[in-house]
Structure 1
Amino acid sequence: MSEHFVYPEWIHLAHTFENGQCFRWRKIDEDHYVGVVHGQVLEVKSVPEGTQLQPMNEQTFQTTYKRYFGFGENLRQRQRALAGKDDHLRVAFEYCEGLTILRQDPWETLVTFILSQNNHMPRIRSLVE
C-alpha cells in the first residue's frame, strides 16, 4: 500500500474540482477524486481528520502540494472577514463553502483557457485528456 498524508484542513472537493477551474480531476466516489498535478497522479479524499492525499509523504506535501491546494493560507478567515462587509460575498461564500482556488501550472491553465473558448466543461475535459 502506498503512503498517504492527511492535512488537517478540510476542502470541499466537488466545489474545488468541478467548478471549471481545472479539468484533470475525476470523481471516483463521493469525496474521492484522482487527478494529475505536476505530472504526478494523485488521489485526494475527504476524511474526518481533514484532506488525505495519496501517494504522499510529508516532505513531498510541503515542497509541492501545500501551495497547489493553498493549505495553511487562512482562506476561511479571510472569507469571514469579507463576508462581514458585504452581503453578496457572504451569500457566495456560503454557497461555495470549502472551495479552494488551485495554484495550477501556468501552461496547463493557459491551454485549458484557450480550449474553453466556445466549449463546455465535458468537452474541455475530453480535449485535455
Structure 2
Amino acid sequence: MHIRTKDFDLDSTLDCGQVFRWKRSSEWWTGVVRGHIVRARQDGSDLVVNTGLDRDSIVRYFRLDDDMEGIYSRINTDPVMDDLIHRFRGLRLVRQQPWECLISYMASSRNSIPNIKNSISNLCRQYGDDLGRDFSFPTAEVLARTSESRLRETKLGFRSVNILEVARKVDTGELDLEAPFELEYREAKELLMGVQGIGPKIADCVLLFAYGKMEAFPVDTHILSVMEEHYGSFIEGAKSKRGEAISEFARSYFGQYAGYAQQYLFNSRISDYDTLTHSADCTITK
C-alpha cells in the first residue's frame, strides 16, 4: 500500500531509540506490529508498506494522524528546539502496544540500545510465534509460565525477575494494562510505578509511547545531559530529585507535547549530527 504523508521521516522515526525490533536492509525497514510482519520504505512523501495489516493500523502505528504543524508550533520554544525540528523534521512518535512496550522498556533498564535489541530479539525467538521472517512478541500468558533461569537465557540478566513478575500479574489480571488509557497522566504513572521494576523513566516511556500521554517526559542519562546543558540554569530542585525537576520543567516549558520535545532532544544525543551549540532563552509557559 502507498500512504501519502506530510512531515514524516521514516528513518528518523524508526532509528531514534523509541522502538527496538525494526531492522533496515537497503531502503526497506522490517518489523513486527501486532503479530504481523511489516516492511516499509519511504518514496518521497509516500510511505510504501507491505503487510497484512490494514491502512488504518499503519496510520495509527506511525501516528500519521498527528498534527505536526500544531505540535511544532507548541514545542518550538527557543533556538535549541528550532534547530532540532529542522534537523529531524518528520520524526514521529510511534503508537506501541502496551504489553510489548512495557516489557521492552523494562528490558532497557541500565542497558545499551544494541543490548536491548539483542535481548528482545532473543525473547521473541524463544517465546514468540514463528511468523516466517521473524517472531511475534510473546504473550504475558507464555512468559508467566517460564522460570527466571530460562528467562535469563535471553540475556535479560537481572531484569528477568521483575519481567517475570509483571508477566504473572498481567496474566492473572492483577495488573490491567487497559487501565492507564482511562486515567490522567499522573494517576497512570502512579499505577505503573506501583509495580516492582517500574521506575519514573520506564513509566514515562510506556505512558508516552503506548498510552499517548504526550506530557510524559522520560529522563535518562541522555536527557539529563542535554537538559542540564541547555536548560539547567532554569531548572530548580534538589540534585537528588533532578529527574523529577527536569520532567516538571519540561511540561511547563514545552506544554502538552513535551514528549515530542523529549524525543527530539534524545535523538540529538544518539544521532550522528553535530552537537547542539545553542543556549536556550527560556520563557516559562504555564
> Does residue 74 of the first structure (1) align with residue 46 of the second (2)?
no
* 1:69 and 1:103 in contact (8 A); partners too: yes
Query: Partners in 1 of 2:84 and 2:47 — Cα distance?
Result: 23
Match of 2:89 among 82, 94, 97: 97
* 1:23 and 1:124 in contact (8 A); partners too: yes
* 2:107 and 2:116 in contact (8 A); partners too: yes
1:86/1:47 CA distance change after superposition, 3 Å: same
Q: Deviations over 1:49-80 (max 9, x none)?
A: 511111257xx112x221111113221x1244
Query: Partners in 2 of 1:12 and 1:121 — Cα distance?
Result: 21
**Residues 37-116 of structure 1 mapped to structure 2, 5 A cutoff:** 37-55=33-51, 60-62=54-56, 64-75=57-68, 77-82=69-74, 85-116=77-108
Aligned-partner residue type, residue 44 of structure 1? A
Partner residue of 1:19?
16
Aligned-partner residue type, residue 108 of structure 1? E
Give structure 1 stretches of 5+ with no counterpart: none
Give structure 2 stretches of 5+ with no counterpart: 122-286
Q: Deviations over 1:23-53 (max 9, x none)?
A: 11000114x2000011110001101351111
- 1:13: Cα distance to partner? 2.1
Aligned sequence identity (%) = 23
TM-score under structure 1 length normalisation: 0.82
Q: SS in structure 2 opposite 1:21?
A: coil
Query: Partners in 2 of 1:7 and 1:13 — Cα distance?
Result: 12
Identify the structure with bigger relative contact order (alpha carbons < 8 Å, sequence gap 6+): 1
Instruction: Report the structure, 1 or 2, having the larger helix content.
Output: 2
- The count of residues paired between Structure 1 and Structure 2 equals 120
Query: Partners in 2 of 1:51 and 1:39 — Cα distance?
Result: 20
Moved over 4 A (4+): none
**CA RMSD, 1 decimal:** 1.8
Instruction: Report the structure, 1 or 2, having the larger strand content.
Output: 1
- 1:83: Cα distance to partner? 5.6
TM-score under structure 2 length normalisation: 0.39
Q: SS in structure 1 opposite 2:16?
A: coil
Which range moves more in the overlay, 64-73 or 101-110?
64-73
* 2:36 and 2:51 in contact (8 A); partners too: no
